[in-house]
Chain A
Amino acid sequence: MLLGKVIGTVVSTQVYKGLEGVPMLLVQPLAKDGAEKGSPVVCADGTRMAGPGELVYYEGGREAAMTLNPWFVPVDHAIIGIVDGVQAPQWKGGPA
């Protein structure tokens, strides 16, 4: 899993079956010090509670789809949880 910051939402009404109603969020990946790193990715929101501005952790690959029900859906990144705080000396990204 990696840490990321939610920077926006993606709205789609015509989706593959199984993805109806699944929130899609734009997530900016963060480096280990909290700096932005790489291009934003679209994540399915497995918590269904994340929103713009929040710090989250997300999983990529096959495991991403397993956050959802049904799980056999075409998803490659999904938010697993919302971060309340990071305790790491080199972290400068803030708690949320």
Chain B
Amino acid sequence: MIIGKVIGNIHSTINHPFYDGKKLLVVERMETDGKAAAGYLVAVDRAGAGAGETVLVLDEGNGARQVLESADGPVRSVIVGVVDEINES
């Protein structure tokens, strides 16, 4: 899983049927110290995240389909948690 920061959301009406009603957020990759890293991804939200929050993103297809309870959904990235704090030792 990766740590990221929600920087926005996108909306779409024409999409694959699997994505009907699913919330899509734009997540910027983040270093553990909170700095923005290169890259971003668009992920389905399953944790009730919002703009500005630090989130845990699962970026693997089979796990994502398990979380979204679909055997054949074309999905790979899912937000599975909102991070409260990161302790790095």
* A residues at B contact (CB < 8 Å): 1-3, 31-32, 46-47, 49-50, 57, 59, 61-67, 71, 78, 80-91
Contact A1 B61 (CB under 8 A): no
Contact B26 A86 (CB under 8 A): yes
- Chain A residues contacting B26 (CB-CB under 8 Å) are 3, 32, 86, 88, 91
Identify B12's interface contact among A31, A57, A64, A90, CB under 8 A: A57
Contact B16 A57 (CB under 8 A): no
- Chain A residues contacting B39 (CB-CB under 8 Å) are 32
Contact B24 A66 (CB under 8 A): no
Interface residue range, chain B: 20 to 34
Q: Please, how many angstroms separate the alpha-carbon atoms of A46 and B16 in the complex?
A: 7
Contact B8 A57 (CB under 8 A): no
Contact A57 B14 (CB under 8 A): no
Contact B74 A57 (CB under 8 A): no
Contact B15 A87 (CB under 8 A): no
A62 to chain B, nearest CB (A): 6
Q: Please, how many angstroms separate the alpha-carbon atoms of A63 and B61 in the complex?
A: 7
